[in-house]
Amino acid sequence: MKKILSLGLVSFLLMGSIFGVWWTFSHPTESQESATVVNYRHSGEFDYQVYVNSGSLYGLPSELEEPNPTYPTKLIDSIDVFFSYEFVPDKEVTKVTEVVEVTAVVGNPGSWQKELKLVPETTETGDFTVKFSLDLEELKELIDTIEEETGTYSASTDVTIKADVHVVAQTGSGELEDDFVQTIKTTLTSTTLEWEQGLSLSRTGSYNGLSYLQRGDFDYAIHLKPNTVYETTTLTPPTPATSGPTLALPTGQVYFCQTIDHMEAAFSYGFDCEQPLNRAQAEVEVTAVLEYPGIWSKTFVLVPRMTKTGDFTVTFPVDLDYLYQLTDTIREEIGMGSASYNLTLEANVHMVAQTDHGAIDEFFSQSLPGTLGAKTLAWGSDLTESQSGSIEETETVPIPGAVPARAGSVAGLLLAVLVGSYVVRNHKRVKPTPLTAVELEAQRAKKKHKDVIVDVEELPEAEAEVTVISLGSLDELVKAADALLKPVLHKAQAEKHTYCVIDGLTRYEYVSLEKPE
């Protein structure tokens, strides 16, 4: 039993040691930990100025309307007129061609009219300018002839110049076609030529997600005969009168659109870092998003993508007139509109820099939401925004006690192996010789008949007159002993066990011998 217990204890110790070695070696001795080595911060700020130029609300005088320029016809030698056209899409187009024609309608409203062709149909490519002459002598002769024929006379005659442009552009979603018409009006009397102001016209349009602007400009040069009235030989349109005094209103107000002269905006960006920067540069783009929530949305580039270094500020105008024209155009095209539209300024900055601890490559975005109503303009009050970032490095940190645990588990395993070897070796050394069949029989008999069998060193010698009766088995001998109420005497010898029962002069005997192999 002690041997069995010792072997079991050794086996348990060995299995525990093996498990300990497996557990300690299956777990790492080091761990990875992140540590912040560089901190940095993006900061952005929108700013804007809304300028108003009329109305008693802000204490500014109303603008005075400038009179139309008037020229004495007697001093005019010739007149050159120019018409320029631009097609400006918000997305790339592959080809733009135009067919342009310029005519003049001469007449007295309600009485007669005559159309003259000044520029026949001409095909142009891209932006263009056409030039033509306006012959006052021919016009006066035509007017006199028609008045004589009709019997109607007037002190003045209207001459309306009209430019018709049919534009065709190839887009990514098909072929765009549109017409643009612009007119200017002059009034001719016997002594003067009056030219109305307003020589420029812009109109917006859209086609399959592409928005575009068409702009026309008339210009003229009046060449004079030698005279003492003017100090120059050529007269051009007067510079448009500047608006009256303007006032920049504070941010955060509600602005009334009818009083707005123009709007200027700016976006500023700064980058602060704890470590010195190498090759730092930022790519910035500013856009405006005009949106009819849930219906349509258009994006316009206010500041094209450009590269800046260091902290910077970009300024840009916000063309409110164009945005109002666009909403009117889309309203006509889709048959529905809104009382107000979302107008959002968006600045996107891609910052790239190198530090001693690695690269910084991040995007920073800031938005300024606003509302463009039919009569008012309002912007959000939160003009600043910031964004923090960091560079982290991974460090290898030893796990406390992991290495000693491995060493201890190995030592425990070695100790268990040594103890096990010692126990097994001793077990083999004292291991008893296997019992023979005779010995096994003797052990079983002793256990079975322990109350009857008596071990003796020597059996009584059998005298001559004693009768010896040999029995075939021990069980028979035990039955005889029970019947005679006598003990069974047992003498153990090498490879021989003798059992006998003595009853007077009768001796019952059983001998167990080892059979030869």
Is residue 487 in some structural domain?
yes
What integer is the mean pLDDT of 96-112?
Answer: 90
Indicate whether 229 and 124 sit together in one domain.
yes
Indicate whether 419 and 461 sit together in one domain.
no
pLDDT tens-digit map of 38-52: 899 999 999 998 888
Is residue 60 in some structural domain?
no
> Two tokens at 51?
């300028």
Question: Which DSSP letter does residue 27 get?
Answer: S
Is residue 240 in some structural domain?
no
Indicate whether 380 and 321 sit together in one domain.
yes
Q: Which contiguous run of DSSP H or E holds residue 452?
A: none
Indicate whether 180 and 252 sit together in one domain.
no
Indicate whether 217 and 147 sit together in one domain.
yes
- Structure confidence at residue 378 (pLDDT): 94
pLDDT tens-digit map of 133-188: 999 999 999 999 998 998 888 889 999 999 999 999 999 888 999 999 999 999 99
Indicate whether 138 and 274 sit together in one domain.
no
What integer is the mean pLDDT of 220-245?
Answer: 84
- Structure confidence at residue 347 (pLDDT): 96
What integer is the mean pLDDT of 422-451?
Answer: 76
Contacts of 188 (CB under 8 A, 6+ apart): 73, 136, 139, 140, 143, 156, 157, 158, 159, 194
- Structure confidence at residue 345 (pLDDT): 96
Q: Would the pLDDT of 430 be above 70?
A: no
Indicate whether 408 and 470 sit together in one domain.
no
- Structure confidence at residue 517 (pLDDT): 62
Is residue 112 in some structural domain?
yes
- CATH number for the domain that contains residue 479: 3.30.720
Last residue within a domain, chosen from 212, 235, 258: 235
Last residue within a domain, chosen from 206, 235, 264: 235
Q: Would the pLDDT of 244 be above 60?
A: no
How many structural domains comprise the chain?
4
Domain span at residue 345 reads: 39-50+246-396
Distance CA 452, CA 482 (A): 8
Q: Is 456 exposed, middle or buried (0-12, 13-18, 19+ CB in 10 A)?
A: middle
Contacts of 355 (CB under 8 A, 6+ apart): 38, 273, 275, 276, 277, 278, 391
Indicate whether 143 and 101 sit together in one domain.
yes
What integer is the mean pLDDT of 426-444?
Answer: 73
What pTM value is reported for the model?
0.49
Annotate 147-177 with DSSP letters as a single string.
HHHHT---SEEEEEEEEEEEEEEEETTEEEE
Is residue 34 in some structural domain?
no
Distance CA 18, CA 11 (A): 11
Q: Would the pLDDT of 96 be above 80?
A: yes
Is residue 459 in some structural domain?
yes
More confident residue, 420 or 323: 323
pLDDT tens-digit map of 254-300: 888 888 888 999 999 999 998 888 888 999 999 999 999 999 999 98
Which amino acid appears at position 108 of this protein? N
What whole-number percentage of the chain has pLDDT above 90?
41
Indicate whether 105 and 72 sit together in one domain.
yes
Last residue within a domain, chosen from 408, 429, 450: 429
Which amino acid appears at position 69 of this protein? P
Is residue 153 in some structural domain?
yes
Among the residue ranges 1-15, 142-156, 451-465, 488-502, the one predicted with the least confidence is 1-15
Is residue 410 in some structural domain?
yes
Indicate whether 352 and 492 sit together in one domain.
no
Indicate whether 158 and 270 sit together in one domain.
no
Indicate whether 158 and 219 sit together in one domain.
yes
